[in-house]
Amino acid sequence: AQSVTQLDSHVSVSEGTPVLLRCNYSSSYSPSLFWYVQHPNKGLQLLLKYTSAATLVKGINGFEAEFKKSETSFHLTKPSAHMSDAAEYFCVVSPYSGGGADGLTFGKGTHLIIQP
């Protein structure tokens, strides 16, 4: 069984300040982990993914995430927020099964608000 918990439903930061979106997971396997972003009235876009290679993963638009097995965390960070970062962010976990089409578990999302 697996689960994912996004610790904050809303995060508000000022433009130009750092962003931290927190995600904790549980999985019976060595998981694959993803962060997706959803802008208003749009589908989900992949930001980055971790699949058991380097623990620090760099994604698009200056975002990165660090896989910490001891803390079962996969927090998303960005050094300096931009107004265009305002969106909903989803942390996603999957067992590293290597086959089959199922198994993704989505967090409930964190709404990122950027103050001017």
CB 18, min distance to other proteins, A: 25
Measuring CA to CA, which residue among 67, 62, 38, 63 is closest to residue 50? 67
Interface stretch with other proteins, choices 12-20, 56-64, 65-73, 104-112 (CB under 8 A): 104-112
Can you tell me the distance from the alpha carbon of 6 to that of 76, in angstroms, rounded to the nearest whole number?
11
Using a 10 angstrom Cβ sphere, with 0-12 exposed, 13-18 middle and 19 or more buried, the burial of residue 1 is exposed
# binding residues, other proteins (CB under 8 A): 27
Choose, by CB under 8 A, the member of 42, 68, 69, 82 that binds other proteins.
42
93: its two tokens: 């976990």
Contacting other proteins (CB under 8 A), which of 71, 97, 113, 115? 97
Chain positions contacting other proteins, by CB under 8 A: 32, 34, 36, 41-46, 49, 51, 90, 94-104, 106-109
